[in-house]
Chains A and B, each alone.
Chain A
Amino acid sequence: MSALDILLVILRIAFGAFVPLSFVAVLVWMERRGAGYFQDRSGPNRCNVLGFRAGGLIQNIADAVKLIFKEDIVPGHIKHKLYFILAPTLVFITAILSFAMVPFADTLVLNGKEYIMQAIPADLGILWFLAVVGFGVYGIILAGWSSHNKYGVLGGLRAAAQVISYEIPMGLALVSLLTIYSTVNLSEMARFQGQLLFGFIPMWGVFLQPLGVIIFIVAAFAETNRTPFDLAEGESEIVAGFHVEYSSMKFALFFMGEYVAMFVSSALIVTLYFGSYQIPWFSTETLVNHSKPVVFLLMLAMPVAAYFFNIWMKKNNRSQYERPNDPRVFEAQVYAAVIWSIVIFIEIIFLGFLIFSSGAGGARILVALLQIACFLFKTFLMCFVYIWVRWTLPRFRYDQLQRLGWQRLLPLALLNIFITSAVVVSLA
């Protein structure tokens, strides 16, 4: 193994482990500010470090400090302490592991060697996700059972029944998708979606499987126990469900596990149905062959975007009443300086690329970075859909939830399989 091999192994595993973790902070922030936006209020925006609030992101640090320094209680009535402690770790570990086979850029070719851009470069793809997510249920069951508490058991029962029954429509929606892609490997699926349908529509899963995408997204919402399917927590009925007896970092592990699961299922929805890392109409080869014009366009676009963002920020980041030496205006000025220095730094790198780049290696790394950015942007938007739904729809009743799963989604998914297979066979 050369040094490059080892470096890329470390980079890919670091991406697979730390990007979901960083997204926890982003998602918690987005959840709160999003809730504020949908309810016509500001959301948390007062926490600051030396007057810098980072748009409310500092609130996360306050939360983390609170959760870490809380007393870590294992209630006295708990008999099976091993399972009580195992449960939150299981939920968290399975959530992170399930991201391991999602590709975040096209296969990187450096010095004639291919590097599959997944944390674990195996070809199990979607089967790995299904296997690992199945273990997440154990965490919830064990938490509910070992809590030895009526609310805990009820929450655990609800969560387990819900996840098990929604795995079926999810799996069936996947079957019709696999018929089209004719592979389970997520990297190959992503490459398939780089083609064009009728020469002008990107061949994304969402255009080939309009019914399947709806079934899959609904099932994914239920799998992650998010509103409108968050009966397992159901604050108004069973307090907090399966994590009612947990405190401090054990609770934080459940909390982070939920957000990581949300990130992973958004990433999976993007990978399966929204073109994965593919930038629409620009295949990897096109981008690599035209890397210099692409870089030139980016060099033009970045200052323009930064300029408009700064205008927007200066307009909004000020006190709403008269204040002498408004500290928020100063804050916005500092942010503007930071943004401009980042822009200048990237411009210098791009300029260096334009002048010194020769051969395909640099261009391929650049395209991989662009695709990672595209993948993360799409995932970010899909996460926003989760938050959008959470603050728009009320919670289902339990019988409504099971009826939706078994009587609506299951027949629809079967119908989808029949239609898809008929079309695939007639076209073949």
Chain B
Amino acid sequence: MVSTILFSAFAVLAVAGAAGLVLLRHPMNGAMSFIMTLIALAGLFALLSAKLIFAIQLIVYAGAIMSLILFIIMFLNIGEKDLPDESNRWFYFGGGAVVIAPLAIFLLKVVNKLPSCEATIVGDSFGSVKGVGMVLFTEWLLPFEIVSILLLVALVGAVVLAGKREGKL
């Protein structure tokens, strides 16, 4: 019962935040509504007892990445007058809705056809830091390492690019 109420609340918040991101004109409003979406998604992860993903969603997405975006918005101090003219954007929204509507109806039908099943609480180690770590470092070690190398390449690239510009100045 409580989890159903929480799920509905988080779902409404997530959708409202996503709509706000698209509809609101001021970049700060957009960023703040996106933060709302990310926090609501973290709440949904927590409802699925995926504790580690909950924490990572809050630390990485809602915490680090969005605070960088907010930082840039503040740094550039973008106001309403700096934004491009978007007077015909409602026309685009309408067109987008018409294009997406069949897909949405199809998805709704698919979801309604799913067999209903009772939600049960899985074992204590599911989704915890230890549980995810064990699975990650035994069964999924190779994909994990490949993704780490990808991130390392990006990090080295960022340092090299930042260093180059400093050298020229």
Contact = CB atoms under 8 A, between A and B. Distances in A.
A135 to B, nearest CB: 6
A183 B52 CA distance: 13
A130 B28 contact: no
A164 interface: yes
A168 B138 CA distance: 27
Nearest to B67: A137
B51 A134 contact: no
Interface stretch (B69-77, B94-102, B112-120, B145-153): B69-77
B151 to A, nearest CB: 14
A153 to B, nearest CB: 7
B55 interface: yes
Interface string B56-79: 101100111011101101110100
A354 B56 CA distance: 49
Nearest to A182: B130
Given A122-B51, A134-B64, A157 B74 contact: yes
Contacts of A128: 55
Given A127-B129, A131-B55, A153 B77 contact: yes
* Interface SS of chain B: helix
Contacts of B52: 127
A80 interface: yes
Contacts of A142: 70
Nearest to B63: A134
Interface residues of B, number: 25
A164 B66 CA distance: 11
B84 to A, nearest CB: 20
B55 A141 contact: no
Contacts, number: 70
Contacts of B55: 124, 127-128, 130-131
Given A138-B70, A160-B67, A131 B129 contact: no
Nearest to B54: A124
Nearest to A185: B129
Interface residues of A, number: 27
Contact of B70 (A132, A141, A183): A141
B74 to A, nearest CB: 4
Task: Report which residue of B54, B62, B128, B129 has the largest number of chain A beta carbons within 10 angstroms of its beta carbon.
Answer: B129
Nearest to B56: A127
Nearest to B57: A131
Contacts of B74: 141, 144-145, 153, 156-157, 160
B15 interface: no
A201 interface: no
Contacts of A145: 28, 70, 73-74
Interface string A108-123: 0000000000000011
A316 B135 CA distance: 64
A154 to B, nearest CB: 10
Contacts of B11: none
A127 B71 CA distance: 23
A131 to B, nearest CB: 4
Contacts of B70: 138, 141-142, 145, 160
A127 B58 CA distance: 9
B13 interface: no
Contacts of A157: 71, 74-75
Contacts of B67: 134, 137-138, 141, 160, 164
Nearest to B129: A184
A156 B28 CA distance: 15
A14 interface: no
A80 B28 contact: yes
A123 B75 contact: no
A131 B35 contact: no
20 contacts: A123-B129, A124-B51, A127-B56, A131-B63, A132-B58, A134-B58, A134-B63, A137-B67, A138-B70, A141-B67, A141-B71, A142-B70, A144-B74, A160-B67, A160-B70, A160-B71, A161-B71, A164-B64, A164-B68, A183-B129
Given A83-B32, A124-B51, A156-B74, 12 more contacts: A80-B28, A124-B54, A124-B129, A130-B63, A131-B55, A134-B59, A135-B62, A138-B35, A141-B67, A145-B28, A145-B70, A184-B129
Interface of B: 28, 32, 35, 51-52, 54-56, 58-59, 62-64, 66-68, 70-71, 73-75, 77, 128-130
Interface of A: 80, 83, 122-124, 127-128, 130-132, 134-135, 137-138, 141-142, 144-145, 153, 156-157, 160-161, 164, 167, 183-184
